[in-house]
Amino acid sequence: MDATWKRAIEQGDFAAVSDQLRSGVDINALDRYGQTALMLAAHRGHDKIVELLVAQGADLNVTAKYTLSALMLAVVAGHESIARILARAGADLRIKGSGAPGFAGKSAYDLAVERQMAELYDELKTR
Protein backbone atom coordinates (compact mmCIF):
# COMPACT_ATOMS: atom_id res chain seq x y z
CA MET A 1 0.00 0.00 0.00
CA ASP A 2 1.30 3.39 -1.03
CA ALA A 3 2.24 5.69 1.90
CA THR A 4 0.14 8.60 0.55
CA TRP A 5 -2.92 6.36 0.25
CA LYS A 6 -2.44 4.93 3.75
CA ARG A 7 -1.92 8.36 5.30
CA ALA A 8 -5.09 9.74 3.67
CA ILE A 9 -7.11 6.80 5.01
CA GLU A 10 -5.64 6.89 8.51
CA GLN A 11 -6.10 10.64 8.83
CA GLY A 12 -9.66 10.48 7.56
CA ASP A 13 -8.89 12.92 4.74
CA PHE A 14 -11.96 12.44 2.53
CA ALA A 15 -10.73 14.79 -0.21
CA ALA A 16 -7.35 13.05 -0.43
CA VAL A 17 -9.00 9.61 -0.47
CA SER A 18 -11.33 10.75 -3.26
CA ASP A 19 -8.38 12.14 -5.23
CA GLN A 20 -6.45 8.90 -4.82
CA LEU A 21 -9.43 6.87 -6.01
CA ARG A 22 -9.81 9.10 -9.07
CA SER A 23 -6.11 8.66 -9.83
CA GLY A 24 -6.56 4.87 -9.94
CA VAL A 25 -5.12 3.73 -6.62
CA ASP A 26 -5.65 0.03 -5.89
CA ILE A 27 -8.62 0.20 -3.51
CA ASN A 28 -7.78 -3.24 -2.10
CA ALA A 29 -4.02 -2.77 -1.72
CA LEU A 30 -2.62 -4.25 1.48
CA ASP A 31 -0.38 -2.53 3.99
CA ARG A 32 2.49 -4.39 5.62
CA TYR A 33 0.05 -5.90 8.14
CA GLY A 34 -2.27 -7.23 5.44
CA GLN A 35 -4.93 -4.57 5.97
CA THR A 36 -6.86 -2.76 3.25
CA ALA A 37 -7.97 0.87 3.24
CA LEU A 38 -11.46 -0.29 4.22
CA MET A 39 -10.08 -2.10 7.25
CA LEU A 40 -8.05 0.93 8.33
CA ALA A 41 -10.97 3.32 7.88
CA ALA A 42 -13.38 0.98 9.70
CA HIS A 43 -11.05 0.55 12.65
CA ARG A 44 -10.38 4.28 12.92
CA GLY A 45 -14.04 5.23 12.70
CA HIS A 46 -14.01 7.16 9.42
CA ASP A 47 -17.60 6.49 8.40
CA LYS A 48 -17.72 8.73 5.31
CA ILE A 49 -14.57 7.10 3.96
CA VAL A 50 -16.01 3.64 4.68
CA GLU A 51 -19.14 4.60 2.74
CA LEU A 52 -17.04 5.89 -0.16
CA LEU A 53 -14.87 2.77 -0.27
CA VAL A 54 -17.92 0.50 -0.16
CA ALA A 55 -19.56 2.51 -2.97
CA GLN A 56 -16.37 2.21 -5.02
CA GLY A 57 -16.33 -1.58 -4.70
CA ALA A 58 -13.83 -2.25 -1.91
CA ASP A 59 -13.66 -5.93 -0.97
CA LEU A 60 -15.69 -6.25 2.24
CA ASN A 61 -14.28 -9.61 3.26
CA VAL A 62 -10.50 -9.32 3.20
CA THR A 63 -9.04 -10.54 6.49
CA ALA A 64 -5.72 -9.78 8.11
CA LYS A 65 -4.10 -10.74 11.41
CA TYR A 66 -6.28 -13.04 13.51
CA THR A 67 -8.60 -13.38 10.49
CA LEU A 68 -10.31 -10.07 11.31
CA SER A 69 -12.35 -8.34 8.62
CA ALA A 70 -13.25 -4.65 8.34
CA LEU A 71 -16.60 -5.44 9.97
CA MET A 72 -14.94 -7.16 12.89
CA LEU A 73 -12.43 -4.33 13.30
CA ALA A 74 -15.28 -1.82 13.42
CA VAL A 75 -16.97 -3.83 16.17
CA VAL A 76 -13.75 -4.26 18.15
CA ALA A 77 -13.16 -0.50 17.99
CA GLY A 78 -16.74 0.26 19.03
CA HIS A 79 -17.87 1.87 15.77
CA GLU A 80 -21.46 0.67 15.61
CA SER A 81 -22.48 2.88 12.68
CA ILE A 82 -19.62 1.55 10.57
CA ALA A 83 -20.41 -2.05 11.51
CA ARG A 84 -23.98 -1.38 10.40
CA ILE A 85 -22.81 0.10 7.06
CA LEU A 86 -20.63 -2.94 6.37
CA ALA A 87 -23.24 -5.49 7.41
CA ARG A 88 -25.87 -3.83 5.22
CA ALA A 89 -23.41 -3.70 2.32
CA GLY A 90 -23.11 -7.48 2.44
CA ALA A 91 -20.03 -8.20 4.56
CA ASP A 92 -19.71 -11.90 5.32
CA LEU A 93 -21.15 -12.40 8.81
CA ARG A 94 -19.77 -15.95 9.02
CA ILE A 95 -16.09 -14.98 9.15
CA LYS A 96 -14.55 -16.04 12.44
CA GLY A 97 -11.39 -14.79 14.06
CA SER A 98 -8.40 -16.96 14.79
CA GLY A 99 -5.23 -17.08 16.79
CA ALA A 100 -5.62 -14.58 19.61
CA PRO A 101 -7.65 -15.68 22.65
CA GLY A 102 -10.00 -12.71 22.30
CA PHE A 103 -10.83 -13.45 18.67
CA ALA A 104 -10.44 -17.19 18.06
CA GLY A 105 -13.66 -18.73 16.77
CA LYS A 106 -15.64 -15.51 17.17
CA SER A 107 -17.76 -13.80 14.54
CA ALA A 108 -18.63 -10.10 14.39
CA TYR A 109 -21.85 -11.00 16.23
CA ASP A 110 -19.91 -12.72 19.02
CA LEU A 111 -17.61 -9.71 19.34
CA ALA A 112 -20.61 -7.37 19.50
CA VAL A 113 -22.20 -9.48 22.25
CA GLU A 114 -18.98 -9.36 24.27
CA ARG A 115 -18.95 -5.58 23.94
CA GLN A 116 -22.66 -5.31 24.75
CA MET A 117 -23.43 -3.59 21.46
CA ALA A 118 -27.10 -4.63 21.55
CA GLU A 119 -28.06 -2.31 18.68
CA LEU A 120 -26.02 -4.53 16.36
CA TYR A 121 -27.27 -7.95 17.38
CA ASP A 122 -29.99 -8.21 14.72
CA GLU A 123 -27.72 -6.78 12.00
CA LEU A 124 -24.93 -9.26 12.72
CA LYS A 125 -26.83 -12.51 13.22
CA THR A 126 -26.07 -14.95 10.46
CA ARG A 127 -29.05 -15.54 8.28
Q: What domains are defined for the chain?
A: 3-124 (1.25.40.20)
Tell me how far the alpha carbon of residue 49 is from its chain's centroid.
11
pTM over 0.85: yes
Confidence tier at 126 by pLDDT (50, 70, 90): confident
Tens digit of each residue's pLDDT (9 = 90 or more) over 15-50 = 999 999 999 999 999 999 999 999 999 999 999 999
